[in-house]
Structure 1
Amino acid sequence: MSESLGPVRLRVAPSPTGDPHVGTAYMALFNLAFVRQQGGQFVVRIEDTDRARYRADSEQQLYATLSWLGLPWDEGPDKGGPFAPYRQSERLDTYRPYVEQLLADGHAYYCWCSPERLAQMREAQQAAKLPTGYDRLCYGKSREERAELPGFSDVPVVRMLIPDDAPLTFTDLIRGEVNAPRPDDQVILKADGFPTYHLAVVIDDHLMGITHVVRGEEWISSTPKHVLLYSWLGLPMPNFLHMPLLRNANRSKISKRKNPAARLTWFIEQGYLPEALRNFLALLGYSMPDGEEVFSFDDMVEHFDWQRVNTVGPFFDVDKLDWLNGHYIRSIDEADLAGRLLDRLRLDGVVTGEPTERERAVVAAATPLVQTRMVRLNEAPGMIGFLLVADDDLVVEDDALASLKEDAPAVLDASVTALEALPQWETAGIEAALRAVLVEQLGIKPKFAFGPLRVAVTGRRVSPPLFESMEILGRESSLARIRALRSRVG
């Protein structure tokens, strides 16, 4: 295992087969932290050799989500770089000479077995409770010899010839000495001319000067194949580091099929801040020397040490992420949060097009009212959307209407009279006038006195502070909404 391969260069190499996985961001975070600490380069490489599952929009989603998360890369398909191209589908001519070398040296062989024959072979092995793996029917045979046997396919694949004494132990910079199971004769070149992951990753990592291969622990079992390929081709070996897998509460691997949080876009949809998600992903596999749980990416870079990576698969605790997100929302500058809330309101269609001056002013004024109450940005429409909709478009929720008691008409009538007489429309005066008429004159307990007004003004049972909200909304709209509710309750 080499520790001196030149300047530090790390990469993430996702497959564009769907929405970007949160595991890609997890790996990118640790790669980038080490690269920035060491003054190296961080590369995005697209491993698009799985053409059956390829999705055209997936690559652009990856760039967008990593950018949103604040994990910039130095080289990649979109940025170029000295080792372009950075898509495997554009590098097919690169791999063929290495395949020919392996064939010529006796480390690989052609296999003409049809998919049907391979499926029958696996079924028979499983029925006999034998280890599954290729039975080497094609090994040592010419095309003509193999064609005389059943299950022949015209277009062959190329397989590795795994020796009996294949090295099964390797050094991992996180885990130390690691033992892996013996691999079978892995396909390295498919019938369509595309390399499999196992060949392409070795060749690309070598040609792109990757010094540290950081990936999930599910790849431990594949590492002996890669070690063999490096050895057979006479290539210097990178450092291997296998991160713990992200797991669900039942300890199963987090997957996009079973858990929406596996999709990186889900965190944007749910209104998480990128700095909170970075902090959370770091905590899943890492601990700071002082044990602090809230820390920035720069803090992580400053203290980064692979030995502090916890190899126990972390539990993906959304409650912990919510706690962190709330902390960051409360910590950022009001103007910064107002901008993010406005972006969220545009995303959800509450604000359409370029925000008007009024919309900007309303959101800025409402931000301090919700900053201490908010956990996720997707709460913004529910919390302050009522301040931005036209009075006639305000939706009064069913549970809010159901909460109104028999005194609601009297409360609303008295409130209109008191508010119409106010000389100035500001929070303190609004509160004083309403308390005087509802609590002191009508004798309603404060706990219940303002409920009908909240329903009228916001359309909800729970809202930001009522009197401050009414000041932001303005006299005309506040009174119009109170009158509108009054007409509905008889």
Structure 2
Amino acid sequence: MEHKARVRFAPSPTGDLHVGNARTALFNWMFARREGGCFILRIEDTDESRSDSAYQTGLLEDLKWLGLDWDEGPDIGGAYGPYRQSERLDLYAAHLKKLMDADLAYPCYCTEEELEEERRTLILARRMPRYSGKCRNLSEKEREALAASGRKPSYRFKVPRTTIEFHDLIRGPMRFEGEAMGDFIIVRSNGMPAYNFAVVIDDHLMAISHVIRGEDHLSNTALQILLYRAFGFDEPVFAHHCLILGKDHAKLGKRHGSVSVGEFRKQGFLPEALLNYLGLLGSSFAGGREILSRDEMIGAFSLFRASKSGALFDEDKLRWLNAAYIRNASTDALLVRLEPFLRASGYRPETLDAVWLKNVLETVKGELTTLAEIGDHIDLFFDERYSPSQEARRLLAAPGAREVVGAFGAYLNRAQGDAAEIYAAAIRHAKEKSGARGKDLFMPVRAALTGKIKGPELDKVFVILGKESAVKRLKRAEQEIIKA
């Protein structure tokens, strides 16, 4: 086995990339980069009924979008390929033969119905549901008869009645009793390898040094260690991180809302923000910081600081992080990322003045928590989209609002010169004439100018709108007050 750390992320192309799996990929990637090792991408596509090439394409795209790169994989090759399990079937067949020749595995002719009945009986008897082993000691004649009847066998590993112990880098000493497991399937009746069988062979042949994955694989690890020992393979180092949980402390699933990388991508989350947040879940970075670049995350990552307890997924915290990344992004870079979201909101960026659009974005980006919100925040700069909200109408109808808006508008009608100076002077005039202060002064002006009761700094909004647009809107606002 090589001395250089070699880790892998091995998703199944049976669905979209779940944020929990993305975090597993991230932990493996950070470990490899910190240790100067190799990060390998392997596709576990032996479930023919559920695997889909479209999902595989999506998995790779989402990983790349997050900024995770790999050193070996199905798209770039490598010295230990192929990197799709469906292309490694001859290797699994050869290793099954080794176990059969050593009398460590046997064919099982039980049907699914028989196995289910056996399981039901054990549960009713309040016993642990595990395979009874009834095919383990069939004679050759009995096996031939079952095969002749048309039954296709699966193959099971003969589990020794022994204790399996290993040290987990995150969880410490672990212990499982082989007696409680039952002989498990290593090759299905359709000839496809079962998960635990294929994983052991692949990890060994690919010289994987560390297996970093979720705690839901702990019971699998015990089975895999039995196979490592049966083959005489060196065992990798295991590290099982905690799972991501919903607010109800159950494993994060669709009932909790968005759970896939693709969903967050479509909603306008930045890859840096999502990656940063996933890195915080179940891991404390050195220094206790929360906003870190990829390189900073690599430098601060350690499996020894990984949590054993479940990590709660807090979308509000993710939105806070995303908003911080948006605020800190350069306007030019942000404009490129915003283009599809602008189009989805009905805008054509190529028809808008570039300098004007940059000024608008500079003004509103502090209000955004996701890129998808851009339409709701820039519509206030378009006169044709100006339409006071219900909240704005109520505010404009409040006592004193008409006097504030009227005084502000009266000054605008006769003002000339720089827009910023006009705004400041108009506010002073409205204050003097109405006697309003604080929110009683600024909120009616905001409602009249933007049609909203919240938004970016009003002086900056006014400069972009200009006097002419502001005057038109004030007249419209006065009409709203009269209607009210």
The verdict on a shared fold, with TM-score over 0.5 as the criterion, is yes
TM-score (norm 2): 0.88
- CA drift of 1:422 comes to 3.0
Relative to 1, partners in 2 of residues 1:85 and 1:476: Cα closer, same or farther, differing over 3 Å? farther
Per the alignment, residue 175 of structure 2 pairs with: 179
Contact 1:45 1:87 in 2 (8 A): yes
Kindly indicate whether residue 184 of structure 2 is the aligned counterpart of residue 190 of structure 1. Answer: no
- CA drift of 1:366 comes to 3.0
Separation in structure 2 between the aligned mates of residue 89 and residue 12 of structure 1, nearest angstrom: 16
Contact 1:43 1:76 in 2 (8 A): yes
Q: Say which is worse superposed, 405-414 or 70-79, in terms of deviation.
A: 405-414
Q: Say which is worse superposed, 33-42 or 454-463, in terms of deviation.
A: 454-463
Per the alignment, residue 207 of structure 1 pairs with: 205
Per the alignment, residue 366 of structure 1 pairs with: 360
Contact 2:395 2:401 in 1 (8 A): no
Per the alignment, residue 345 of structure 2 pairs with: 349
Per the alignment, residue 421 of structure 2 pairs with: 428
- CA drift of 1:199 comes to 1.1
Per the alignment, residue 33 of structure 2 pairs with: 36
Kindly indicate whether residue 315 of structure 2 is the aligned counterpart of residue 318 of structure 1. Answer: yes
Separation in structure 2 between the aligned mates of residue 336 and residue 239 of structure 1, nearest angstrom: 41
Per the alignment, residue 274 of structure 1 pairs with: 271
Relative to 1, partners in 2 of residues 1:190 and 1:457: Cα closer, same or farther, differing over 3 Å? farther
Counterpart residue type for residue 422 of structure 2: G
Kindly indicate whether residue 461 of structure 2 is the aligned counterpart of residue 463 of structure 1. Answer: no
Separation in structure 2 between the aligned mates of residue 261 and residue 288 of structure 1, nearest angstrom: 25
Q: Secondary structure at the match of 1:168?
A: strand
Kindly indicate whether residue 154 of structure 2 is the aligned counterpart of residue 157 of structure 1. Answer: yes
Where in structure 2 are there 5+ consecutive unaligned residues?
none
Separation in structure 1 between the aligned mates of residue 473 and residue 86 of structure 2, nearest angstrom: 60
Q: 2:465 is matched with which residue: 463, 473, 485?
A: 473
Per the alignment, residue 391 of structure 2 pairs with: 399
Q: Secondary structure at the match of 1:155?
A: coil
Relative to 1, partners in 2 of residues 1:295 and 1:119: Cα closer, same or farther, differing over 3 Å? same
Contact 1:175 1:311 in 2 (8 A): yes
Kindly indicate whether residue 220 of structure 2 is the aligned counterpart of residue 222 of structure 1. Answer: yes
Separation in structure 2 between the aligned mates of residue 428 and residue 61 of structure 1, nearest angstrom: 52
Contact 2:74 2:83 in 1 (8 A): yes
Per the alignment, residue 15 of structure 1 pairs with: 12
Separation in structure 2 between the aligned mates of residue 481 and residue 274 of structure 1, nearest angstrom: 38
> How many residue pairs are counted as aligned between the two chains?
477
Counterpart residue type for residue 109 of structure 1: Y
Separation in structure 2 between the aligned mates of residue 450 and residue 304 of structure 1, nearest angstrom: 47
Relative to 1, partners in 2 of residues 1:347 and 1:46: Cα closer, same or farther, differing over 3 Å? farther
- CA drift of 1:417 comes to 4.6
Per the alignment, residue 241 of structure 1 pairs with: 239
Counterpart residue type for residue 374 of structure 2: A
Cα deviations by residue, 1:408-467 (Å, 9 ceiling, x for unpaired):
66665655553343323522312312441x332344445334445433443322111223
Contact 1:49 1:195 in 2 (8 A): yes
Contact 1:212 1:239 in 2 (8 A): yes
- CA drift of 1:126 comes to 0.6
Kindly indicate whether residue 241 of structure 2 is the aligned counterpart of residue 252 of structure 1. Answer: no
Q: Secondary structure at the match of 2:312?
A: coil
Separation in structure 1 between the aligned mates of residue 257 and residue 156 of structure 2, nearest angstrom: 37
TM-score (norm 1): 0.87
- CA drift of 1:307 comes to 2.0
Q: 1:60 is matched with which residue: 57, 61, 64?
A: 57
Per the alignment, residue 123 of structure 1 pairs with: 120
- CA drift of 1:70 comes to 1.6
Q: 1:106 is matched with which residue: 87, 103, 106?
A: 103
Contact 1:422 1:430 in 2 (8 A): no
Q: Secondary structure at the match of 2:109?
A: strand
Contact 1:430 1:467 in 2 (8 A): yes
Separation in structure 1 between the aligned mates of residue 406 and residue 201 of structure 2, nearest angstrom: 78
Q: Secondary structure at the match of 1:213?
A: strand
Relative to 1, partners in 2 of residues 1:122 and 1:394: Cα closer, same or farther, differing over 3 Å? farther
- CA drift of 1:338 comes to 4.9
Contact 2:366 2:456 in 1 (8 A): no
- CA drift of 1:405 comes to 0.8
Relative to 1, partners in 2 of residues 1:191 and 1:362: Cα closer, same or farther, differing over 3 Å? farther
- CA drift of 1:311 comes to 2.2
Separation in structure 1 between the aligned mates of residue 462 and residue 236 of structure 2, nearest angstrom: 63
Separation in structure 1 between the aligned mates of residue 388 and residue 266 of structure 2, nearest angstrom: 25
Q: Say which is worse superposed, 288-297 or 83-92, in terms of deviation.
A: 288-297
- CA drift of 1:44 comes to 1.3
Give percent identity, aligned residues only.
37
Separation in structure 1 between the aligned mates of residue 79 and residue 390 of structure 2, nearest angstrom: 61
Counterpart residue type for residue 428 of structure 1: E
